[in-house]
Amino acid sequence: MDLLLAGDPFCSRHGWMSHVFLHKAAHTVAALDRDIEFTHVEIPVPAEWDTKHGGELMLGGVVLSGTPSWRTSAEANAGLEMALAGIVTERGAFGHWLDGGYAGDMRTWGRATGVAGENPGAIRDQHERLLGCSLSDVMRRTEAWVVDSYERIAKVATALAGGASSGTTSRVDYAAGPWQISSEEAAAAANS
């Protein structure tokens, strides 16, 4: 899926939108697999990627059903795997991820864990205590999951793109969006 945004300043090789559709789809399939409730997935304008929508919080385009509170080790691990799924999928598909996606996803995950502070080292240590493992361990698990789940991720990306993808490189006007599918439509696509 190569969806190029006209005048794409982010990735002229693969297209910014190709990255975005796969990134969002990976978060979506990760949420489905980890029973993280969400209402829908959408591709909004970049300024809204990390904002609340009617009391709901968005993580990587996936609008969660209420503000998450991932305070147990199992919840924190599931939430982190969901947060990492986007960049891991981009890196696997394209050899790199776009700047910005990782920081926003990690910020949302960090808020949901309730860990805060000024010292990055202390925050990492608190997160690793909560997770019961290193951040690297979660990254490796997520990488293995993406390999196993890539076909399902691609199906959700295609469903999310709708008519924008014809299987060949095409130009996508960002104004043609927003793109959105419900949690039910995402589950149907992932399991088709």
The CATH number for 139's domain is: 1.20.58
Q: What is the pTM of this model?
A: 0.86
pLDDT tens digits, 25-76: 999 999 999 999 999 998 865 555 555 555 557 787 788 888 888 999 999 9
How many domains does one find in the chain? 1
Tell me the one-letter amino acid at 84. Answer: L
% helix, strand, coil for the chain, step of 5:
55, 15, 30
Instruction: Please tell me the distance from the alpha carbon of residue 35 to that of residue 102, in angstroms, as a whole number.
Output: 22
Higher model confidence: residue 30 or residue 174?
Answer: 30
pLDDT at 118 (0 to 100): 78
Q: What is the pLDDT of residues 96-155, one digit of tens each?
A: 888 777 888 888 898 889 887 778 888 889 999 999 999 999 999 999 999 999 999 999
- Residue 165: band (very low, low, confident or very high) from pLDDT cuts 50, 70, 90: very low
- Segments forming the whole domain that contains residue 120: 3-190
**4 pLDDT above the threshold of 50:** no
